[in-house]
Amino acid sequence: MTTSIRFPDGMQERLKKLAKQHHRTLHSEIIQACDAWIERNQVINPKLVQVIASEVEQSRSEGMSEDDVKWMAAGAAIRVGREQGIIGEAVSDEMNAAIVAVVKQELKK
């Protein structure tokens, strides 16, 4: 696929410098940057999103308060994530923030 990108002033030159430092072409540097961005922003596994949605639904059906629903959903995501090897023993700040964001999203439904 071919696409055109308009960079803000100075960005193309900064990317060229980075590409040279990393012994890559400008194209390869842009691809690497995009891959890194995608990886950082896909912190939470889709399976955990399903776990959170399920837990929110179940906790609400049991009449829990929204605060309790929030904690139950986050706890379920961490528990299942650890059981399935998606999350390590220590939950990173990024993973915790991603779980909280998904829980908030599910609570709005």
Q: Are residues 99 and 72 in the same domain?
A: yes
Q: Cβ-count burial of 91 within 10 angstroms (0-12 exposed, 13-18 middle, 19+ buried)?
A: middle
Q: Are residues 31 and 78 in the same domain?
A: no
Instruction: Return mean pLDDT, the chain.
Output: 89
Please count the structural domains in the chain: 2
Give domain status of residue 1, yes or no. no
Q: How far, in Å, CA of 78 to CA of 26, rounded?
A: 39
Cα angle 98, 103, 107; round to 5: 150
Q: Are residues 32 and 58 in the same domain?
A: no
Q: Are residues 80 and 63 in the same domain?
A: yes
The boundaries of the domain holding residue 66 are 46-107
Q: Are residues 27 and 66 in the same domain?
A: no
Collapsing DSSP states into helix, strand and coil, what is residue 103?
Answer: helix
Q: Cβ-count burial of 108 within 10 angstroms (0-12 exposed, 13-18 middle, 19+ buried)?
A: exposed
Q: How far, in Å, CA of 55 to CA of 58, rounded?
A: 5
**How confident is the model over 25-77, as pLDDT tens digits?**
999 999 988 877 766 566 678 888 999 999 999 999 999 999 999 999 999 99
Q: Are residues 74 and 57 in the same domain?
A: yes
Q: Are residues 97 and 64 in the same domain?
A: yes
Whether the model clears a pTM of 0.75, i.e. scores above it, the answer is no
Q: Are residues 61 and 35 in the same domain?
A: no
User: Residue 67's pLDDT is what?
Assistant: 94
* DSSP state string for 27-48: HHHHHHHHHHHHHHH--S-HHH
Give domain status of residue 2, yes or no. no
